Amino acid sequence: MHKLSIRPKNYLKEIKMAKEKVILAYSGGLDTTVIIPWLKENYDYDVIAVCIDVGQGDDWEHIKSRALKTGASACYVVDARQEYIEEYIWPALKANAVYEDEYLLGTSTARPLIGKILVEYARQEGATAICHGATGKGNDQVRFELAIKAFAPDLRVIAAWRDDKWNMDSRDAEIKFLEDRGLEVPMKKDQSYSRDENIWHISHEGLELEKTANEPNYPHMLKNTKVPETAGDGEYVTIEWEKGIPVSLNGKKMNGLELMTALNEIGGRNGVGLVDICENRCVGMKSRGVYETPGGAILYFAHRMMDHICLDRDTYHYKQQVSLRLAELIYDGKVFTPLYDALMAFVDSTQQTVTGWTKVKLEKGQIRAAGSDSKYSLYNEDIASFTTGELYNHKDAQGFITLFGLPLKVRAMMEQKVGEGRAIAESKNLKKRPTE
């Protein structure tokens, strides 16, 4: 039997006076640190900061302390690294999803998870709003808010940089805001790149990168990757796969976090995974960024090797089309959509036989194939060999070519008959080639 609880006499008064709660996506950086007192002053919210660890490598205890000192009523730190790898990175990897030929979706894959966790805390805490510090020019505002809409369409979203009450337009203004209130300024004076870091990648924007004519200052910029020309003599890496997922590195079984940590170190010291790209943001402008994805670059290269030996021609070629669309969906933050689920169902189906091992050589920024094998390999030496075997007769190709080329032959015959068309025009303009 449930017991009735005795409420204090002033219980109803306390309810009326209780402040509404807002969940803040808190990174500990300048923007989100400013947002805590800004929210309290402009909206009189009870601010609950949520830090989501996707592999940034930050001092979370210090960041939590900063949030509380700045005015947050609570600060939660969530270790989401393994979840991020298994539920967001591995699907992108299995799909070979690459945005605009080069970008391995480092920031893009993390934002939907962060948005989902913010909703979970909003429900848990009974919050009425979620706030983020993404700027009005970037992709992240879209990614965060699409995730929130997917799970909590009833929650208010406060985007500080788009808010009418936000009157700071520079870092200097934000710093002054904190200094005027006697609060800690969380900013390193000697480093001005705009960065995003997680277990998958590090992005760099700003400074010399704002002009496309400038070469990146790699010695000053890079954090986890050696400048390729200064890397060592190289090394081999062997990865085992089960249904499109890496499970072992150099003969040692590892979980996703262990494997990514090790591969980032290996790839970083060999200078692999550097990308300098001027990409199309989903909000309509171009932006230039340099990405460090040392471990991810190795995995993408090695996974394609597995696909190459395990998938038939039609499946692989169609998967290439699906990969392109999935990359766009991930980049735009449309992960929690029916189309994403449907396309990933196709990808998962293709990966049922992508099991085996791949070996690559890393050397001064380059990744080269060094062998692969699978019990599901469709490569057949008896057929592929130049030596004629029982499974293939060279003469069989004659009938294939006759049928394969029949449409071309029929069209050319028609053009000869009517006296016009490509076959006729080309015949009249045949070049005279030297005979000596």
Rounded to 5 degrees, what angle do the CA atoms 94, 98, 99 make? 145
Q: Which one, of 145, 276, 302, 262, lies nearest residue 205 by Cα? A: 276
Q: Which of 350, 349, 368 is nearest to 358 (CA)?
A: 368
Residue type, 136: G
Q: How far apart are CA 269 and CA 227, in angstroms?
A: 9
3-state secondary structure of 360: strand
Q: Is the distance from CB of 85 to CB of 257 less than 8 angstroms? A: yes
Angle at which helix 313-331 crosses helix 338-350, to 10 degrees, equals 150
Residues 157 and 134: their CA atoms lie apart, in Å, by 12
Q: How far apart are CA 338 and CA 326, in angstroms?
A: 12
Catalytic one of 31, 196, 307, 332? 31
Q: Which of 111, 143, 203, 323 is catalytic?
A: 111
CA distances from 248 to 133, 239, 253 (A): 38, 6, 4
> Is 248 annotated as catalytic?
no
Helix (H, G, I), strand (E, B) or coil at 196: strand
Residues 107, 109, 110, 114, CA torsion sign:
positive
Q: Which two tokens stand for residue 35?
A: 């947002």
233 belongs to the catalytic site: no
Q: Is 181 a catalytic residue?
A: no
Element (H, E) at 43: helix 30-43
CA 18 to chain centre: 40
27, 81, 108, 140: the active-site residue:
140
**C-alpha–C-alpha distance, residues 336 and 149, integer Å:** 10
> Does an H or E element contain 372, and which?
strand 366-373
Q: What share of the chain is helix, strand, coil (3-state, %, to 5)?
A: 45, 20, 35
Considering the candidates 65, 73, 194, 248, report the single residue annotated as catalytic. 194
**Separation CA 393–CA 385 (nearest Å):** 12
Catalytic amino acids?
31, 111, 140, 194
